[in-house]
Every structure is written in structure tokens, then in C-alpha cells.
Amino acid sequence: MNRGGLVVAMTGAGGFIGRALARRLEGAGHTVVPLPRELGTLPGADAIVHLGGESIAGLWTARKRRAILESRVAGTRRLVERMGALPLRPRVFVCASATGIYGHRPGEVLDEDAGAGRGFRSDVCLAWEAEALRAEALGVRTVLLRFGTVLDPAGGYLAKLLPLWRHGLCFVVGRARDRFAWISREDAVRLIEFAVNDEALRGPVNAVAPRAATQAELARVAAQAAGRHVVGRLPRRVLRFALGEFARAFTDSQDVRPRRVLSRGFAFLHVDVGSLFPERRPHALA
């Protein structure tokens, strides 16, 4: 028995966000049912949270692009089809999406009413969200969480960069003034839980901190945390040459605002990127 809590079925339960979300939900008295990558039948649940998908890390070869697209589009389609076959459907479907839908938009402020950009990431997100929204026709409230880069010193993007920074390789990525859409892992998990519980929330929702960091600010704060100085800048063209289109995941300029959840009363714990490193060393300013 879950003592009156919710039953939450979840794809990606073993991932960077999924593990933390499962701990939070179970700590609150809910029951988490991990769903396998190759989904057969779908168990009955009060809520379904869909975080599964091919990692975007690595060179985006033609094969990698197909895997990224098909894991999100076909995977979401199968999940919604299984949902439709249930005798009792879930009350809510929370599906991950990404701020990649907006593309490279320097100088623009982007809330949920902003249109999609151009390019592979935008196309993937549009197709992904279209499949998820088919759940609305089944009478299931559907929330599309457009995540910025999820940051936490213990894992993900930051954990991969911290060793480089500690060896003095602290660079501004791209142009110093470009904006970087991000959210702490703690707030990402809290926001998913909020989306499950808030019955007025549906459709696209920007899952980002209220204040996008500039690339210069991110580099400076990270250098402080590593006890180092910012030593220079890595131009976008260099990263594009080395990493191909994957570089866009962290060089596209996006000043994304979480208008919808702020209007619903969600309170972020991490508003500025410096709060991720509360014990950073102030003497190491660039």
C-alpha cells in the first residue's frame, strides 16, 4: 500500500534526474514504478512521467540523429498508445522536452508563447511534443516540460566540466554575453512533482531558472568553485568544428523565462547560477 500516495510510472527512472525524482516521490509517500526502455504493457498509474530518451552527448552522426529522434518520437508514441489501451487512464502525463525547441535566439526573451526555432534540435522537440499531446485526446492532462541544461555539481554537465576547471581549463564558452538556459537538478525534480500535482498546469512549460546565466557568469562562478581563474574564451566555431551540431546544446544563446510556473506560484530554490556553488572561493575571481 502507498498510504494514500500516488502511483507514478516513470521512464528514465535510472537517469540523472529520474533517480533524484524517485527518491523525492518515495520520500513523500508515493509509489514509483520504473518503466523499461522496451515497453510492453503499461501498468495502471495515477501519473506517468516520461524522462526516457537517447543521450544527446557525442557526435551527431546520421545514426546518432536517428537514435535521438526515434527514441523520443517513437518512444513517446508507444507510451501514449499503451495509455489509450488502459481501462483507467492516468490523471496526468508529464513529458520531458527541451529548450532546444527555441534554437539560437540572441537578444530575445523567450517564454512559452515564443515560436520554435530552426534546426535539428527544434525539429526533434516539435515532433516529440506533438506525440505527447496526443494524450490530451485521451482525456489525460499533459504537461510538456521544456528543460534547460540541468546543473548539479554532483553529476551531469557540471560534473564532466569540473575536473577540467580544476586543472585550470576555465574558458568562457562562445560569446561572453550569450545567455545559457539552465535549471538546478533540485529544482528540476521539484518542478516535475509540481507539474504532477497542479491540476491547472498543462501544455508547454519552461523548466528553467528565472534568470538565465551569461556564458561569462557561468565560467566565472565555475572558476571560483574550482579555485581557478577564467583563462580565455572558446569560440563557437572551434566547438562546432570539434563537436559538430552537439555543440549547439550548450552554445545556443537562449534567454528563456519560466513564466507559466512562476504565475502558478512555484518558488525556485536556485535563481542564479552562483547559488549552485555556495562554498566557492571568492579570491579566485577572473
Helix, strand, coil in percent for the chain, rounding step 5: 45, 20, 40
pTM of the full predicted structure?
Answer: 0.91
Confidence check: pLDDT of 262 > 90: yes
Nearest C-alpha neighbor of 143 from the set 101, 72, 194, 75: 194
CB count in 10 Å sphere of residue 24? 16
All residues at 6 or more sequence positions from 189 whose CB lies less than 8 Å from its CB, including other chains: 17, 20, 21, 24
Measured distance CA(100)–CA(123) in Å, rounded = 9
At residue 93, the 3 state secondary structure works out as strand
Confidence check: pLDDT of 1 > 60: no
Domains of the chain: 7-150+183-208+257-269 (3.40.50.720)
What residues are paired with 147 via a beta bridge? 98, 207
Q: If you write DSSP's letter for every residue of 156-201 in order, what string do you get?
A: HHHHHHHHHHHTT--EEES-TT-EE-EEEHHHHHHHHHHHHH-TT-
204 near 220, Cβ under 8 Å? no
Confidence check: pLDDT of 284 > 50: no
User: Which pLDDT band holds residue 282 (cuts at 50, 70, 90)?
Assistant: very low
User: Which pLDDT band holds residue 279 (cuts at 50, 70, 90)?
Assistant: low
The predicted-structure confidence for 143-201, as pLDDT tens digits, reads as follows 999 999 999 888 777 777 777 777 777 888 888 999 999 999 999 999 999 999 999 99
Predicted pLDDT at 249: 84
User: Which pLDDT band holds residue 31 (cuts at 50, 70, 90)?
Assistant: very high
User: Which pLDDT band holds residue 269 (cuts at 50, 70, 90)?
Assistant: very high
Over residues 40-59, mean pLDDT: 92
Predicted pLDDT at 242: 80
Confidence check: pLDDT of 142 > 50: yes
- In angstroms, what CA-CA distances link 12 with 71, 123, 202, 257? 12, 22, 21, 26
Over residues 21-25, mean pLDDT: 97
Predicted pLDDT at 83: 96
Measured distance CA(173)–CA(81) in Å, rounded = 41
Over residues 239-266, mean pLDDT: 90
Predicted pLDDT at 22: 97
The three three-digit cell numbers of residue 199, written as one number? 491540476
206 near 257, Cβ under 8 Å? yes
Instruction: Read off the DSSP letter of residue 3.
Output: T
Task: Indicate the pairing of strand 213-214 with strand 179-180.
Answer: antiparallel
